[in-house]
Chain A
Amino acid sequence: DAKTTQPPSMDCAEGRAANLPCNHSTISGNEYVYWYRQIHSQGPQYIIHGLKNNETNEMASLIITEDRKSSTLILPHATLRDTAVYYCIVRVTSSGSRLTFGEGTQLTVNP
């Protein structure tokens, strides 16, 4: 799996958009970008994933650059409950394959 680089921490004001960057310059053509988050020692939670097109779901949007070497997770209207560690994971998707978690970004949403 390709290595990812994320800032260790970020702050965001409640109600504003949170933009979390991830660099994955060694990503290969068949690898997807996944985002998970972990709220204070709870089990990690899937957010979104993409291959090369931008994706949106009820939780977030994922913007992947054209060269696929970086991506941004966008939480459009952050709430206090979005305070968590956010993990960007690049992997070949095959059934049963492991998730390799890095250090992630600690996002703190402030009132």
Chain B
Amino acid sequence: GDSVTQTEGLVTLTEGLPVMLNCTYQTIYSNPFLFWYVQHLNESPRLLLKSFTDNKRTEHQGFHATLHKSSSSFHLQKSSAQLSDSALYYCALSDRYNQGKLIFGQGTKLSIKP
């Protein structure tokens, strides 16, 4: 079946350093839609960014990700971490033509230290 894998459960970084959270997926969909959701403490998850175009960089709120179908990856990056980036990040997958149903990864907790 379809699945999303986030290999890091916890990533701890010092403020100002670059961020990279890994996301790989498996799917039967020929046109997958990939998402990153962010969940801050005591809040519900909200959409951070999304993409369905192969090899095209998508950006939002300082974060960026590029869907690479050849490697089934959609890693989340940011050039310089801020304390406010500390949160739980979920990578998710859907069929482009059935975008509502999302399959989520296990989540990566990002902790930024001063």
Q: Do A and B come from one complex?
A: no
